[in-house]
Structure 1
């Protein structure tokens, strides 16, 4: 999975917190991704300034989830996402609604401390559903449910 962004380092830190992932280390024997790419023969002058000096991708420590690469792009985000992630933290409908609300609120609080912004809350007294829509540090929408 690839996410376009302006600041890969910031996005790596945020999404590691959100997903419980780790920064992807460079392949064995290489001190950085930049070192790896140049060892493969990519000319140094073709690499953008700063590229590969800090991790730009994250991986699931359990090896089950997808690798996510944060690709630096020059243009800013200008429209709403057509795709977003749902972080399932509530335990599902088998869990009482008050417990689900508490779990969702706790995760959303951790993520706002890490740089997310709350956009809106989904749910209500007559619904058996509760979620919070947030924006990551670069304005990409995602849900905590």
Structure 2
């Protein structure tokens, strides 16, 4: 979304839990570029948790990483630790803000 559209009252610049139980996350544009590590790190949990077989979680995570890189994100690294049943990727958005897909 272009920065000029943020904050125009349409609520497209924030994430809200529809039940109202979770926190709201608001995206505020700033004039300066990112200069240091994120203060907030978001994990996008798309795999379904450890109740879902690892092979299925891998497939879900890989699909989301492919979708996000198609939108301009870049992969910074990955974690594939079958011994502790974990699979994820660390990405950065086009402005360098880091997040994980788990």
Interval containing the TM-score (normalised by the shorter chain): 0.7 to 0.9
- Residue of structure 1 aligned with 2:30, choices 66, 73, 79: 73
Number of matched pairs: 99
Matched with 2:14 is 58
- What TM-score comes out, normalization by structure 2 length? 0.77
More helix by share: 1
In structure 2, C-alpha distance between the alignment counterparts of 1:84 and 1:111, rounded to whole Å: 16
Distance 1:76 1:142, change over 3 A: same
Deviation at 1:9, TM superposition (A): 5.9
8 Å Cα contact 1:123/1:131 also seen in 2? yes
Q: Pairwise CA RMSD of aligned residues?
A: 2.7
**Residues 1:131 and 2:88 aligned together:** yes
Unaligned residue ranges in structure 1 (runs of 5+): 1-6, 13-22, 27-54
- What TM-score comes out, normalization by structure 1 length? 0.57
Secondary structure class of the residue paired with 2:57: helix
8 Å Cα contact 2:41/2:99 also seen in 1? yes
Unaligned residue ranges in structure 2 (runs of 5+): none
